Structure 1
């Protein structure tokens, strides 16, 4: 039973990610390695406000993490958590993004 619940939880997370082009773009960028919001914005062509909002939402779900001190205001480096990496691999494997 718990395995079925785990699968449902994972699909809930996948649905959360793929329902936003911003979250997809942020995870896709972080899949190549840790980055700062301004670099993610530059690489994806997205406004920094959307990148910041996507990072916050992904952090709340433990898919990305802040790799430097929370007190640091400049040079905040984000990376994918292990859970985020697993989820991203599944999204790619299932062909759920273009």
Structure 2
């Protein structure tokens, strides 16, 4: 659980990581769709996705070489941690 708390702390220390994960819990999406749905800049979405992906909390669902139409989804681990964050009411 210590590792989980490190990850939870990482997630909740950024409003962008929170919003990107929250959106991906609803279903896979492109960065532009996340940006539109959450009303945050595409640059912020891309940065958050990169950070979350490095920690295996989100994954790219299409071929790595694809430049347009890159679809991301939340991993099982990301979903488990998001549920923990929600259950403990760590974010609004």
> Given the alignment, which residue of 14, 21, 26 partners 2:15?
21
TM-score normalised per structure 2 = 0.99
Q: Which runs of 5+ in 2 are unaligned?
A: none
Q: Which runs of 5+ in 1 are unaligned?
A: 1-6
Which residue of the other structure, out of 57, 62, 65, is the alignment partner of 1:71? 65
TM-score (norm. length: structure 1) = 0.93
Aligned-residue RMSD, C-alpha: 0.3
* Counterparts of 2:79 and 2:19, CA distance in 1: 14
1:32 alignment partner in structure 2:
26
Aligned residues: 92
2:86 aligned with 1:92: yes
